[in-house]
């Protein structure tokens, strides 16, 4: 029985083309800015997404946390959407590194009301001052949901009016772009900084990029080094990243179709799936005992993650075959009987 691994799009392995590019990559010391492959990746990402600069880092946690370090001062608040990765899944880094605390705004389907964001901005001396506003697109814990571009623009206008910077956690920015039928640069537009992941659905083994203006580049590189993200001959990784960035986005529509097929099938089997939240490559289902449900599926060769006591997540990605949804549904059906 072949294993169908729906735990995450991070399980994708480098393709044969990536392996070849990695083996042949021209390299140098990237901390000295002498790795031609990293330099090419950074230049391409910046150009594709409409930014002056991009800086390559080992993970999306690091790109997000470097952005927080660059934008905030100790004791400030960061306005976040409920369930934001920056806070929930980056083990206390915000408090530990930036000394900032989160202020969550209600965000059904990952989408905040810009008016609520405006009301969450603090200026009173009795409250922690706001230092940054951050969005996440697509929004992971909300279901891989897409934040509409007009909402992004309205939140950016709130930030500008308040004199605040605005960051996008765009770990899955290209999933949002594909779902919206726009270029990645349109999703990235209007933010001071954007972080993207090459190692999720795009398929690179490692790597994220933090995009920003030239004036922040020095600070971004200084904090990257401080956190231990100054890699040396990183071109062996960036070579795969270049393929992920150029070829990866084209393949995401298939992943979205796979997730949709799976979601509709799970609903037919009687599972509690909010189809409205199935907008990209993720499917969340509400079950009575999430760890128990995940364990039973594992016996049937279907790997998923239990996210909380009553929530499981299926993620579609490039390493799953076209028949993955049909095959998973056929294996899950008898378990529900
Ligand atoms: C995966 C992810 C990240 C980065 O995670 P790393 O595992 O550190 O690369 C950031 N934001 C979101 C929304 C993510 O899903």
pLDDT digits (tens, 9 = 90+) for 60-88: 999 999 999 999 999 999 999 999 999 99
What spacing in Å lies between the alpha carbon of 337 and ligand 1's midpoint? Answer: 36
- Same fold? 4-11+251-336, 16-247: no
What spacing in Å lies between the alpha carbon of 336 and ligand 1's midpoint? Answer: 32
Mutate to test the pocket of ligand 1, among 58, 59, 61, 305 (most ligand atoms within 8 A of CB): 61
Contact (Cβ atoms closer than 8 angstroms) between residue 121 and residue 68:
no
Instruction: Tell which atom from ligand 1 comes closest to the C-alpha of 138.
Output: 13
> In percent, how much of the chain has pLDDT > 70?
100
Mutate to test the pocket of ligand 1, among 58, 82, 138, 140 (most ligand atoms within 8 A of CB): 140
CATH number for domain 16-247, candidates 3.40.640.10, 2.40.420.20, 3.40.50.1000, 3.40.50.1100 = 3.40.640.10
What pLDDT sits at residue 116? 98
What spacing in Å lies between the alpha carbon of 37 and ligand 1's midpoint? Answer: 23
Instruction: Tell which atom from ligand 1 comes closest to the C-alpha of 84.
Output: 13
What spacing in Å lies between the alpha carbon of 197 and ligand 1's midpoint? Answer: 7
136 lines ligand 1 (CB under 6 A): yes
Burial class (CB in 10 A: 0-12, 13-18, 19+), 210: buried
Query: Is the bond preceding residue 295 a cis peptide, omega within 30 degrees?
Result: no
How confident is the model over 217-271, as pLDDT tens digits? Answer: 999 999 999 999 999 999 999 999 999 999 999 999 999 999 999 999 999 999 9
List all residues 6 or more positions away from 209 whose beta carbon is below 8 Å from its beta carbon: 41, 42, 45, 54, 55, 56, 57, 63, 195, 196, 198
> How far is CA 191 from each of CA 23, 70, 181, 224, rounded to the nearest angstrom?
35, 14, 20, 20
Q: How many CB atoms sit inside 10 A of residue 142's CB?
A: 23
Which candidate, 105, 103, 161, 157, places its Cα nearest to that of 127? 103
Within the chain, where are the H helices? 16-24, 36-49, 60-71, 85-88, 93, 114-120, 149-162, 173-180, 184-188, 214-226, 235-247, 252-268, 290-299, 324-336
Ranges of each domain in the chain:
4-11+251-336, 16-247
How confident is the model over 3-19, as pLDDT tens digits? Answer: 999 999 999 999 999 99
pLDDT at 151 over 90: yes
**36 vs 49: CA distance, rounded Å:** 20
The answer to whether the Cα torsion of 244, 250, 254, 256 is positive or negative is: positive
Q: Tell me the CATH class for 4-11+251-336.
A: alpha beta
How confident is the model over 298-308, as pLDDT tens digits? Answer: 999 999 999 99
**209 vs 49: CA distance, rounded Å:** 11
**79 vs 95: CA distance, rounded Å:** 14
**337 vs 194: CA distance, rounded Å:** 46
3-state secondary structure of 115: helix
Contact (Cβ atoms closer than 8 angstroms) between residue 262 and residue 55:
no
What pLDDT sits at residue 21? 98
Mean pLDDT within 182-198:
98
Q: In what order do the strands lie in the sheet with 208-212?
A: 53-57, 208-212, 193-197, 166-170, 130-136, 77-81, 101-105
Closest residue to atom 3 of ligand 1, CA basis: 60
175 lines ligand 1 (CB under 6 A): no
145 lines ligand 1 (CB under 6 A): no
How confident is the model over 160-179, as pLDDT tens digits? Answer: 999 999 999 999 999 999 99
What spacing in Å lies between the alpha carbon of 97 and ligand 1's midpoint? Answer: 17
pLDDT at 337 over 80: no
Length of the chain: 337
**37 vs 27: CA distance, rounded Å:** 6
**151 vs 141: CA distance, rounded Å:** 18
What spacing in Å lies between the alpha carbon of 313 and ligand 1's midpoint? Answer: 15
Element (H, E) at 270: none
Angle between helix 324-336 and helix 290-299 axes, rounded to 10 deg: 110
Model confidence pTM above 0.95:
yes
Mean pLDDT within 38-53:
98
Closest residue to atom 14 of ligand 1, CA basis: 171
85 lines ligand 1 (CB under 6 A): yes
Query: Mean pLDDT for the chain?
Result: 97
What pLDDT sits at residue 336? 87
**295 vs 299: CA distance, rounded Å:** 7
pLDDT-derived band at 1, boundaries 50, 70, 90: confident
């Amino acid at each position: 029985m072949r294993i169908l691994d729906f735990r995450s799009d991070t399980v994708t392995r480098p393709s044969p083309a990536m392996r070849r590019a990695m083996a042949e990559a021209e390299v140098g010391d990237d901390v000295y800015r002498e790795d031609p492959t990293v330099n090419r990746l950074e230049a391409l990402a910046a150009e594709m997404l409409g930014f002056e600069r991009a800086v390559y880092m080992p993970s999306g946690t690091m790109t997000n946390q470097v952005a927080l370090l660059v934008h905030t001062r100790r004791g400030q608040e960061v306005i976040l959407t409920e369930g934001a990765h920056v806070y929930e899944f980056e083990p206390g880094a915000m408090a530990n590194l930036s000394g900032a605390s989160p202020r969550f705004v209600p965000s059904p389907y990952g989408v905040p009301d810009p008016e609520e964001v405006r009301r969450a901005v603090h200026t009173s001396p009795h409250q922690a001052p706001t230092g940054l506003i951050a969005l996440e697109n697509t929004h992971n814990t909300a279901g891989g949901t897409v934040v509409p571009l007009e909402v992004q623009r309205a939140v950016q206008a709130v930030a500008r009016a308040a004199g605040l910077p605005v960051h996008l956690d765009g770990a899955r920015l290209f999933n949002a772009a594909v779902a919206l039928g726009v270029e990645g640069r349109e999703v990235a537009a209007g933010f001071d900084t954007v972080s993207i992941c090459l190692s999720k659905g795009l398929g690179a083994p490692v790597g994220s990029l933090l995009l920003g203006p030239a004036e922040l580049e020095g600070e971004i590189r200084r904090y990257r080094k401080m956190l231990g993200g100054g890699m040396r001959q990183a071109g062996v990784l960036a070579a795969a990243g270049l393929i992920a960035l150029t070829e990866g986005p084209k393949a995401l529509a298939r992943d979205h179709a796979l997730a949709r097929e799976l979601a509709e099938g799970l609903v037919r089997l009687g599972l509690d799936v909010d189809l409205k939240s199935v907008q990209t490559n993720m499917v969340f289902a509400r079950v009575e005992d999430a760890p128990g449900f995940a364990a039973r599926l594992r016996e049937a060769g279907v790997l998923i993650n239990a996210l909380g006591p009553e929530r499981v997540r299926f993620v579609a990605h490039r390493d799953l075959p076209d028949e993955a949804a049909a095959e998973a549904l056929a294996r899950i059906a008898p378990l529900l009987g």
